[in-house]
Amino acid sequence: MLTSALVSLPTATVGEAAIPATGVFTVAWLLVALPLLGAAVLLLGGRRTDRWGHWLGVLASGSAFLVGAVLMVATLSAPAAERVQDLHLFDWITAGSFELAAGLRIDPLSLSFVMLVTFVGTLIHVYSVSYMEHDASRRRFFAYLNLFVAAMLLLVLADSYVLLFVGWEGVGLASYLLIGFWNHSMPNAVAAKKAFVANRVGDLGLLVAIMILFGAFGATDFETVFSLAGGANEGLLTAAGLMLLLAACGKSAQFPLQAWLGDAMAGPTPVSALIHAATMVTAGVYLVVRSAPVYAGAPNALLVVAIIGAITLLFGAIVGCAKDDIKKTLAASTMSQIGYMMLAAGLGPIGYAFAIFHLVTHGFFKAGMFLGAGSVMHGMHDEVDMRRFGELRKYMKITWITFAAGWLAILGLPPFSGFWSKDKIIETAFATADGQGWQPWVFGTVALVGAGITAFYMSRLYFMTFHGTRRWTGTEGAPAAGQHAQNPHESPALMIWPMIILAVGSIALGGLLAIGDGFVHWLEPVVGHTEHHDPVLPIPVIMGATILLVLAGGFLAWRQYAASPVAVVPPRGSVLTRAARRDLYQDEVNEGLLMRPGQYLTRSLVYGDRQVVDGAATGLARLVASSGEVLRKLQNGYVRSYASTMVAGIVVLVAVVLAFRI
């Protein structure tokens, strides 16, 4: 029943077959090796590298970008049929008949990520040089950042699920280390642990998915799995698809594993920009799009992907409306935007390209806004409460303008980046292959409403921070901030320039990539070519409704937060506001459903372990020791008793042998 609308989608082979990498592509391993080397030097070099370590980190990331750019140019100049390449590195695992080679897959999808990760990553490295200037362990920070870049590139370049898993765990580790970078404060350490545990749940899903695929196809490399997936049984592919989705939910903070992302903002702001906005959290979307051939045979799994995306989209948007912490609002927005991408990916081949398109534009404007938030915090003595900002446009002009570029982009107003990608997703959500059923209406409406809410909360953030009246004098009722005399100022050049470059991207990138559907065609070798499907509503109507809703959301926010005064102490708010402030009680649900029962389970297991297992073990040990004491008495030092032991032994042996003689 549910599947009927989707089964008629083209399920034929998706994308081009890979050819062995030659020529310039054989240097692709440098992409992973350079940042990894940087991390190794910085971690092993210790304090000796303190003085120049951060520049080494920038260099490692920047040179990876250069290598990526070379590969990009080479791929662009190759014909479409030769744009998917496999680079064999070495034979990795050989066990019996199972052989797995470690290799890299260089294709338009992985290259899109490579460019995003290395370009945005390098900008954020540069930004961090200044942002982390006064941190004693800046070198360690750069080591972790490089480690993250290496792991992320390995994740997107891997040519098998097992190697992808290595990168997957690598980014999880780097994320854990960076969220808890200031782990001397307890909440940060707890946040890092929470992120790690939530990710583990997802990782388990990836592991199970790999096992299912290996069990079914006897291989884990993309080439074999994807070529065999076409003929595999649907139930199996559905199971694998759902497990891959679980993995994606963990990594990309999708419902119901989204709770960690807000807390992850405990990390330094550049980390939030790079890992928890632009790159790592989008790995789930990558996984789904990469696994397109698996989902091609599992329409039900694909439908679940879309539903999860739709739920998270609204969930994040609602939470974002109530948060007063600038970074947590941005985190909620990230969650919601990735929900858009998931929704697009869940629509199947017609949505994959738009999911990645939105992922790239979002990487730019969200990273830009996070860096803007970092710049604000830099000037405001690490204050994050938006209720204590206001009127900052007069004090940090460049931050204000670059942030505005990001804000307009995420609102999806033409001609800014977000419009080109988000509008396509909304259009696609209104479309299915046969143009009927409940799905286009539900998904389309959710995407549309989400855009309106997004406009509201992002404008709320923007107006509360940069417009309205200043609330940061620290005179009335500002206990926390009152201790510091706040003196908002513009950030140094090293922080400003990355923001400016990202702002340019936020303004123009979407439009550039959309010229002649360039980006969509670029991805065709990977996700396949699909015919355009007509939405259930005329496109101008959808576009008009979207812009109208966005303007309405923005106006509402302006009226409430720019035109009228904002209370420094948050009002009690409605039931929904209070719920949204607490992440719609997600933590409570997790604690009640999982954590407490889990704790009781472990407690009872520990009790059982102490009483039964340890009891048996110590009892046995006592028995052994006491029998040792007894036997020891036989060793009395008298040679006569030794001799008689021997004689007794011989008598017994001879007697036994003769008695049992057949």
Partner 1 sequence: MTAAFVAPEIAWAQLTPVLLVLGAGVIGVLVEAFAPQRVRRPVQLALSLAATAAAIVAVAALWSGVRETGGTVVLDGSIILDGPALVLQGMLALLGLVAFLVIADRTESGEDAFAPSASAVPGSDYEEVARRKGLEQTEVYPLVLFALGGMMIFPAAGDLLTLFVALEVLSLPLYLLSGMARRRRLLSQEASMKYFLLGAFASAFFLFGAALLYGFAGSVRLADIAVATTTVVGMDGLLLAGLVLVLVGLLFKVGAVPFHSWTPDVYQGAPTPITGFMAACTKLAAFGAMLRIVYVVLPPLEWDLMPLLLGVTVITMVVGTVVAIVQTDIKRMLAYSSIAHAGFILVGVVALTQSGISSVLFYLLAYGLATIGAFAIVSLVREVNAGPGGAVVAEATHLSQWSGLGQRHPVLAGAFTLFLLSFAGIPLTAGFAGKFAVFAAAIDGGLAWLVVVGVVASAAAVFFYVRLIVLMFFTDPIGTAGESTTVVRSEGLTTVAIGLGVLGTIALGVFPSPLLDVLADAAVFIP
Binding site residues, partner 1, CB under 8 A: 621, 624-625, 627-629, 631-632, 634-635, 637, 639, 641-643, 645-646, 648-650, 653-654, 656-658, 660-662
* Residue (612 or 653) nearer to partner 1, CB: 653
Compute the least distance from the CB of residue 638 to partner 1, in Å: 9
Judged by beta carbon, residue 541 or residue 653, the one nearer partner 1 is 653
d(CA 229, CA 247) in angstroms, rounded, equals 19
Shortest CB 94 distance to partner 1, Å: 15
Least separation in angstroms between CB 623 and partner 1: 9
Nearest distance from residue 653's CB to partner 1, in Å?
Answer: 5
Distance CA(471)–CA(56), nearest Å, equals 41
Output the six-digit token pair for 616. Answer: 């048996």
C-beta neighbour count of 43 within 10 angstroms: 17
Q: Which residues, including other chains, have CB under 8 Å from residue 252's CB and lie 6 or more apart?
A: 281, 282, 283, 284, 285, 338, 342
Closest separation between CB of residue 621 and partner 1, Å? 8
| Chain centroid to CA 37 | 23
Between vectors from CA 252 to CA 450 and to CA 303, what angle results, nearest 5°?
A: 65
Residue 23: exposure state from Cβ atoms within 10 A (0-12, 13-18, ≥19): exposed
How far is 167 from 152, CA to CA, in rounded Å? 6
Considering the complex, what minimum distance in angstroms separates the CB of residue 650 from partner 1?
6
Q: Compute the least distance from the CB of residue 386 to partner 1, in Å.
A: 52
Query: Which of residues 469 and 635 has its CB atom nearest to partner 1 in the complex?
Result: 635
CA angle 277, 283, 286 (to 5 degrees): 125
Show the tokens assigned to 498. Answer: 């990355």
Instruction: Give CA–CA dist 617/614, Å, rounded.
Output: 5
* CA pair distance 196, 202, nearest whole angstrom: 10
Nearer of residues 231 and 628 to partner 1, judged by Cβ: 628
Query: Minimum Å distance from CB 609 to partner 1?
Result: 18
Tell me the three state secondary structure of residue 385: strand
Three-state SS for 92-134 is: EEEECCEEEEEEEEECHHHHHHHHHHHHHHHHHHHHHHHHCCC
Q: Closer to partner 1 at the Cβ: 47 or 661?
A: 661
Cα 578 to chain centroid distance, Å, stands at 27
Taking the least distance from each CB to partner 1, the nearer of 594 and 650 is 650
- Least distance CB 605 / partner 1 (angstroms): 23
229 token code pair: 């997936």
Quick one: 572 or 661, whose CB is closer to partner 1? 661
Nearer to partner 1 by Cβ, of 79 and 637: the residue is 637
Q: Report, in Å, the least distance between residue 635 CB and partner 1.
A: 6
**DSSP letter at 471?**
-
Residue 240 class from Cβ within 10 Å (0-12 exposed, 13-18 middle, 19+ buried)? buried
Nearer to partner 1, 594 or 648 (CB): 648
The Cα–Cα gap between 631 and 651 comes to 20
- Nearest CB to partner 1, comparing residues 548 and 654: 654
> Which H or E element spans position 90?
strand 85-95
CA-CA distance, 57 to 52, in Å (whole number)? 9
CB-nearer residue toward partner 1: 415 or 649: 649
Distance CA 553, CA 460 (A): 9
Least separation in angstroms between residue 659's CB and partner 1 is 10
